[in-house]
Amino acid sequence: MSLRNILKWPHPCLEAVCAPVEAVTPEVRTLAADMLETMYAAPGRGLAAPQIGEMLRLFVMDATWKEGEPSPVICINPDILDRGDDVEIAGEGCLSIPGVTAQVERPASVRMVWTDLDGVVQEQWLTGFAARCAQHELDHLDGILTLDRVDDVQRETILDAYEAQT
């Protein structure tokens, strides 16, 4: 395993749509391990492949490790099948836009499907922070950032704060 460099906005990889993972190969397993190591070191709760310049539909997340035991999830070719009716607005940080938080509205629960590292298709309803984290990371695979999920006023405020620290 090795730490990877996390790309910062406005890197073009962060605005591109990723290609599907064709097969769970040793290279994909190594990539997932590197992503987990990088995410934990950052320290973040999710990391998508394009954030380290790998243009594949893969993300890792661990919604609970900061409060307790690590419970990493590796999502290959994830997709949201259904969204709950309730929506919530909450702050979201992003490892690619460090030091700023966006108030993003998202469904409070989602039913997601993905392939795990054993090649087994998983399907689960995610709620709370896990749902928010998965949606945030899935956005990265479609070239969408938190900046794209806020109104113009909030976007300008976030960009001003981000640029002031860089």
Q: What is the C-alpha to C-alpha distance for residues 151 and 65, in angstroms, rounded to an integer?
A: 31
The residue among 64, 45, 44, 75 whose CA lies nearest residue 141 is: 75
Q: Where would I find the H helices in the chain?
A: 26-41, 128-141, 152-165
Clarify whether 137 is annotated catalytic: yes
Q: What is the C-alpha to C-alpha distance for residues 96 and 145, in angstroms, rounded to an integer?
A: 9
Strands, sheet with 121-127, edge to edge from the N-terminal-most edge strand: 46-48, 58-61, 73-83, 109-115, 121-127
Active-site hit among 69, 137, 156, 163: 137
**Cβ neighbours of 15 (radius 10 Å):** 16
Q: What is the C-alpha to C-alpha distance for residues 9 and 145, in angstroms, rounded to an integer?
A: 9
Catalytic residues: 137
